[in-house]
Amino acid sequence: MKKYVMETTVGIFVVIGLLCIGYMTVKLGNLGFFGDDSYPIIARFTSVSGLREGSAVQMLGIEVGRVEKLTMDQEKQVAVVVFRIQKGIKIYDDAIASIKTEGLIGDRYVSIDPGGGSDELLQPGGVITETESPTDIQELISKYAFGDVEKK
């Protein structure tokens, strides 16, 4: 009888462990099984240096989404960024998307100024037309170091 109690206890712990591993896989992998609670928004940048798939999308300092895909539009010679925004977040068609850096040498993320001067909301799959590409810190440092900075 004692053998069955021990085997049952070990079995319960194994099942609980597998459930925990499954839960962490879903949470850390940003996977959704029960419907998608986000919608896609597109932005075009002249450069997306340092940005990668899975990077954060922030609005007013709060994370509201993730970068889903980075592609290139050969015809217009721009980088196309598709990101997913949580449902319920309102972005107007005069919004501005810019690529920023967390700290001095941190990860890149997309920052969205939601707009609001317009009455039209950006629909799922809509395009943010106003964008700001990232500032290249290395280029600025090299210009300063080698004397290419213009003094006014």
Statement to judge: residues 124 and 59 lie in one domain: yes
Q: Going along 25-105, which residue ranges are E strands? A: 38-45, 56-59, 62-73, 78-86, 96-101
- d(CA 129, CA 140) in angstroms, rounded, equals 26
Q: Could you report the per-residue pLDDT of 10-30, keeping only the tens digit for each? A: 999 999 999 999 888 877 765
Give the residue from 138, 145, 141, 144 showing the smallest Cα distance to 50: 138
Residues 21 and 75 in one domain: no
| Torsional sign, CA 18, 24, 30, 32 | positive
**Are residue 31 and residue 42 in the same domain, yes or no?**
no
Residue 116 sits in the same domain as residue 101: yes
The per-residue pLDDT for range 64-93, each reduced to its tens digit, is 999 999 999 889 899 999 999 998 888 888
Q: Which domain holds residue 85?
A: 38-136
104 shares its domain with 58 = yes
**In a shared domain, residues 13 and 62:** no
